[in-house]
Amino acid sequence: MEFGLIGGKLGHSFSKDIHEQLGAPAYELKELLPEEVGDFLKAREFRGINVTIPYKETVIPYLDEVSERARAIGAVNTIVNDGGRLIGDNTDFGGMVALLRKIGIEVAGKKVLILGSGGTSKTARAVAKSLGAVSVNRVSRAKRDDCITYEEAYAEHSDADVIINTTPVGMYPNGDASPVDLAIFPKLSGVADAIYNPLRTRLVMAAQERGIPASGGLYMLVAQAVLAAAKFLAVCDEGDYSGIGSGSEVEITAATERIFRTISGEKQSVVLTGMPGVGKTTVGKLVAARLGREFVDCDEEIVRRSGCDIPTIFATQGEKAFRNLEAEVIRDLSAQGGKVIATGGGAILRPENVANLRSNGCIFFIDRPIESIAVAPGRPLSTDREALEARYRERYPIYCATCDVSVAGEATAEEIAERILSNVLS
């Protein structure tokens, strides 16, 4: 290995994508068991590595030198092999600072709760203190000397101003979980989640729904990777990691912004909602072709999985069975990211579907007036004009409330696709 990432489970990692965009000569993801970490480090067969959960503390005894910042935090996420000497540092600190600034969260003079007790939580604590937080508490499921319990957080710190999540709760593939109920914290002014897959966790969505500035951890991931790459320059050959030039502050910031936009754009799905007959499938195929992405029609996927058409599902199993199949399909497609997804007309009726679609997607509502939507066969809940109009009245407010962007639907499919693309590519 020349450069790479070590950790427990790395199937969800975006690090390889990021480092390749930075010009890494070769970047590998290496999953290690706890008993393998020591032998890997003793062999010293790498030039530079990043370290992630759960080994940010484990690696420290095997290092020849640890930066003052990393030692104070008690966690290392970047190791450089300088002529056989392993030097550890912590670029998560700079990544966390960059994320808070990106969100616009002001920490000075605020009470901060940090969820989790691992290496990233120690980094978050150091960041919060360095930025002038008046009170910082780490929260753990089990009582320990340097952490409070969740019960204590709820009872004694419901006046917290900022929450930073460093736990894996809400991470892919268990994206329907949240570490805390934000209703308990009415004074919140900001939420940062170190999780980057999915792009928007349930915690982040709950904050945004309350009008609280919030973001997942993708920007932090990119920022810490760029800072790590700057460390790797010391052991690089000429031309390696050319994406950050000489590693100056200006070049680091520019590379972070560029790669964040690229990665977030690649990972975010384009989701189309709207009444049956508004052209979601036709528009979706046009958008997918332009973006070079896979197009998936949820109704077609339901038919494929069930082995029968939708009217038959309704007739033989009922609407509830259909909605359960639909929810399963949406959950699976949403978790993958980077697709163009056309949903069924009633998909937005279940909040769980909307949450799953928003976790890795931007929802575009094709808003076409009911007068221009034709009744068509094969739609069990809108078999005639009266039924279609009833569905429209029921669903229209939900379409508006659940979309990120409303797109006027009185146009050709090509024109609607261009409107969506102009938003996606801007």
Question: What's the pLDDT tens digit per position in 312-338?
Answer: 999 999 999 999 999 999 999 999 899
Q: Global pTM? A: 0.91
pLDDT in tens, 285-307: 999 999 999 999 999 999 999 99
* Given 9, 16, 56, 187, the catalytic residue: 56
Is 111 an active-site residue? no
Assigned CATH for 94-219 = 3.40.50.720
pLDDT of residue 79: 98
Q: Quick check: 195 pLDDT over 80?
A: yes
pLDDT of residue 89: 97
pLDDT in tens, 223-239: 999 999 999 999 999 99
- Listed by start position, the domains of the chain span 3-89+228-248, 94-219, 268-424
pLDDT of residue 173: 87
pLDDT in tens, 236-281: 999 999 999 999 999 999 999 999 999 999 999 999 999 999 999 9
CATH class of 268-424: alpha beta
pLDDT of residue 144: 80
Q: Are 32 and 8 in contact (CB under 8 A)?
A: yes
Q: Quick check: 49 pLDDT over 80?
A: yes
How confident is the model over 141-150, as a mean pLDDT? 89
Pick the CATH number of 3-89+228-248 from 3.30.565.10, 3.40.50.10860, 3.90.950.10, 3.40.630.30: 3.40.50.10860
The answer to whether domain 94-219 and domain 268-424 are alike in fold is yes
How confident is the prediction for the chain on average, in pLDDT? 95
